[in-house]
Structure 1
């Protein structure tokens, strides 16, 4: 995963950025692109020895902020929740989704729906970052359903606030980012 600094791009630039990155980095696989207010995020498969070369080739798009090898991690539940919240609040929604999925696998009954609701919010905002707003709104609706029986605080996450934000987005039809 490569995070370039966002130097003025919006989610509507995603398709063009992905095409440009693929043209610049022909000797690797660039699967996807997402644009947050902070980063232009690329999912890449590249030999570790060629990573610096790829970063250099992508400089015409934007400078590198950071790179991270994404693998399924087996970390304690509380640490994973904190990491998921940190990723979410840094607009790294794909990574938040991935780490919280590990938490979800360790949950039972009602907690499972609550965590899945938060995962769906992150997944929805991934679609927003790809300029897929109708998909985002649809997934946010599913997230609302999963969170409908939850309230209060979950490991420091204000579930009521998330539900309020989702209601506001649904009522206005305008997607807005928020922290959890």
Structure 2
């Protein structure tokens, strides 16, 4: 599909953008033919535990954009009662992506939306998701951003699930 300014865009038959271009570790598009970070399949439909484990691994490796893609897949395939929770988790990952890209304003907006979406969940949340911990982490990041803090990469790795307690 050609845009009014004459640029070819990768679109499906309905005109929706396709994600065929390679992307860097922060999810930014690279020139066609470049080697980027491995892409997350768009039709992802994993069990919740696998989605959480994969998203956590990506967050731990500093790949928040890619964690967002996994969480978005879970959001789109989740039961109606869980959709707001998964949407909030995906928004959290996008908020962290904005921090990594230096977009403080966008980060605060997404982190606030994430905290609101995740915070309305009943306790205990499904799948062992630590809603209280995730919301607290989002609020801490927002406060640090408001103070103008330079966030260390380790601060951008929230724990999605509650740690199991030793017996």
Q: Same fold (TM over 0.5)?
A: yes
Runs of 4+ in 1 over 6 A off after TM superposition: 29-33
User: Aligned-pair distance for 1:157?
Assistant: 3.0
Q: Which runs of structure 2 are paired with 1:8-87 in the superposition (5 Å)? A: 34=26, 43-47=29-33, 51=35, 67-78=37-48, 79-87=50-58
TM-aligned CA distance change 1:148 to 1:69, over 3 Å:
closer
Residues 125 and 131 in structure 2, CA contact (< 8 A), matched pair in contact too? yes
User: Aligned-pair distance for 1:114?
Assistant: 0.6
Partner in structure 2 of residue 21 of structure 1:
none
Give the number of the structure with larger relative contact order, counting CA–CA contacts within 8 Å between residues 6 or more apart.
Answer: 1
The answer on 1:178 being equivalent to 2:157 is yes
- Equivalent position to 1:152, from 124, 129, 140: 124
Residues 95 and 110 in structure 2, CA contact (< 8 A), matched pair in contact too? yes
Partner in structure 2 of residue 169 of structure 1:
141
Q: Over the residues paired in the alignment, what is the CA RMSD in angstroms?
A: 2.8
Q: What SS does the corresponding residue of 2:58 show, helix, strand or coil?
A: helix
Question: TM-score, length-normalised on structure 1?
Answer: 0.60
Question: TM-score, length-normalised on structure 2?
Answer: 0.64
5+ residue gaps, structure 2, are 1-20, 160-167
5+ residue gaps, structure 1, are 1-28, 35-40, 52-65
TM-aligned CA distance change 1:32 to 1:68, over 3 Å:
closer
Report how many residues are paired. 130
TM-aligned CA distance change 1:128 to 1:153, over 3 Å:
same
User: Aligned-pair distance for 1:100?
Assistant: 1.2
- Richer in strand (by share): 1
